[in-house]
Amino acid sequence: MLRLAEGIDRAIGAALRPLLFAGMAALIVSITLQVVTRVFFTAFGWTEEVARFLLVWLTFLGSVYAWHEHRHIAVTVLVERLPDAARRAATIVALVLALAFLLSLAWVGYEYMSIQSFQKSAAMRLPMSYVYAIIPVSALLMAWFCLSDLLRAILAGKTPEFAEPAE
């Protein structure tokens, strides 16, 4: 079971990395096009919307990738001083709470996306449900990573290793 979870983790992480790269490249192109057309020509109205929506999606997907890489901010000073069994228990409790929050966020995000499905963006007339879809999608992806970490903590006794801050 752990092997399957780790394989899915790697596959999602491998898909996220080029997606984030492409999104950042598209954001740079959109903003550059906006600046150039605003200065030298008549500005395209849609470039500002594209940049805003890309930034929202990249923020949420970047958060998912950060969870995958265990790069989220973690205050571990107290947990690190606990004995191994207590550290593992504290990690399990934290992961269960995080999983409950993420599943709740996915549900609320889905409801919000459904409520806003009639709304269209100003310039591109894009259904806003496409923009809001990132809330449940990213929450479910993070919930998967959280569940995977929880399974490793319970079944294998491995707690997530958080990256050391850069100096």
The CA distance from 49 to 41, in Å, is 18
20, 61 contact by CB (below 8 A) = yes
The CA distance from 129 to 112, in Å, is 8
Q: What pLDDT does residue 29 have?
A: 96
CA distances from 25 to 20, 32, 51 (A): 9, 11, 11
106, 136 contact by CB (below 8 A) = yes
Amino acid found at 88 = R
**Structure tokens, 163:** 């990256």
pLDDT tens digits for the chain (167 residues)?
888 989 999 999 999 999 999 999 999 999 999 999 988 888 888 999 999 999 999 999 999 999 999 998 888 888 889 998 999 999 999 999 999 999 999 999 999 999 988 899 988 999 999 999 999 999 999 999 999 999 999 988 877 776 555 55
Looking at the DSSP bridge assignments, the partners of residue 127 are 120
Residue with tokens 């984030």: 20
Residue 23: CB partners within 8 Å, gap ≥ 6? 54, 57, 58, 61
- What are the sequence ranges of the domains in the chain? 2-156
CA-nearest of 23, 30, 26 to 49 is 30
Q: What pLDDT does residue 32 have?
A: 95
**Any idea what DSSP says for residue 75?**
-
